[in-house]
A and B are shown apart, each in its own frame.
Chain A
Amino acid sequence: MSFDATHQKEQFKSVGTRPLRPDGVDKVTGRARYGADFNMPGQLVARVLRSPHAHARIVKIDTTRAEAVKGVKAVVTADDLPDLTNGDAALFAILDNCMARTKALYDGHAVAAVAAIDEKAAKQALKLIDVEYEVLPHVVDVDAAMAPDAPVLNDAIFTEGVTPKPDTASNVANRSEFGHGDVEAGFEAADFIVERSYKTGQTHQGYIEPHACVASCNPDGTAELWVCTQGHFVYRQNCADLLGLEVSKLRVTSSEIGGGFGGKTHVWAEPVALALSRKAGRPVKLVMSREEVFRASGPTSATSIDVKIGARKDGRITAATATLRYTSGPYPDMWAELGAMTSFACYDLENVKTVGFEVVVNRPKVAAYRAPSAPMAAFAVESAVDELAHKIGMDAVAFRIKNAAKEGTKSSYGPVYGPIGIGPTLEAAKAHPHMSAPLRENQGRGMACGFWFNFGGQTCTDLNINADGTVTLAVGTVDVGGSRASLSLIAAEELGIEYQDVKAVVADTATLGYNDMTDGSRGTFSSSMATISAARNAVEIMRQRAALMWDIPVEDIYWEDGHAKAAGSKYGNLAPLSVKDIAAESGNTGGPIAGHSELVADGAGVSFATHICDVEVDPETGSTRIVRYTVIQDAGKAVHPSYVEGQYQGGAAQGIGWALNEEYIYGDDGRLQNPGFLDYRIPVCSDLPMIDTQILEIPNPNHPYGVRGVGETSIVPPLAAIANAVSNAAGVRMSHIPMSPPRILAALKDAKG
Chain B
Amino acid sequence: MTAIAVSTTINGDDVEYLCQPDETLLDVLRNRLGLMGTKEGCGTGDCGACSTIMDGRVVCSCLVLGAEAQGRSIETIEGMAQGAELHPLQRKFIEHAALQCGICTPGFLIAAKALLEEKPDPTEEEIRFWLAGNLCRCTGYDKIVRAVQDAAREMRGEAA
Contacts and interface: CB of A to CB of B under 8 A. Distances in A.
A152 to B, nearest CB: 36
B7 interface: no
Contacts of B106: 28, 30
Nearest to B148: A685
A676 B46 contact: yes
A141 interface: no
A208 B104 contact: yes
A290 B97 contact: no
B47 A677 contact: yes
Contacts of A654: 137
Interface stretch (A132-140, A444-452, A536-544, A643-651): A643-651
B143 A646 contact: yes
A34 to B, nearest CB: 6
Contacts of A20: 94-95
A689 to B, nearest CB: 9
Contacts of A678: 44, 46
Interface stretch (B63-71, B77-85, B152-160): B77-85
Nearest to B109: A28
Interface stretch (A104-112, A253-261, A332-340, A743-751): A253-261
Nearest to B80: A29
Interface string A661-696: 000000000000000111000111111101100000
B101 A31 contact: no
B40 A36 contact: yes
Interface size class of A (residues with CB under 8 A): 35 or more
Interface in A624-655: 642-643, 645-646, 649-650, 652-654
B103 interface: yes
A333 to B, nearest CB: 23
Interface size class of B (residues with CB under 8 A): 35 or more
A25 interface: yes
Name the prevailing secondary structure of the B interface residues: loop
A482 interface: yes
B35 to A, nearest CB: 8
B132 A21 contact: no
Contacts of A18: 97
B105 A27 contact: yes
Interface in B83-123: 86, 90-91, 93-97, 99-106, 109
Contact of B97 (A37, A642, A682): A642
B94 A209 contact: no
A685 B134 contact: yes
Interface in B9-51: 20, 30, 35-44, 46-47, 49
Given A29-B90, A30-B78, A653 B40 contact: no
B145 interface: yes
Contacts of B131: 684-686
A480 B97 contact: no
Interface of A: 18, 20-21, 23-25, 27-34, 36-37, 120, 205-210, 256-261, 287, 289-290, 480-482, 642-643, 645-646, 649-650, 652-654, 676-678, 682-688, 690-691
Given A258-B104, A290-B47, 10 more contacts: A30-B78, A207-B101, A259-B103, A290-B44, A481-B100, A649-B142, A677-B46, A682-B137, A691-B140, A691-B142
Interface of B: 20, 30, 35-44, 46-47, 49, 76-78, 80-81, 86, 90-91, 93-97, 99-106, 109, 125, 127-129, 131-146
**Shortest 8 CB-CB contacts between residues of A and residues of B:** A30-B37, A258-B103, A653-B140, A27-B102, A649-B140, A24-B94, A677-B46, A642-B97
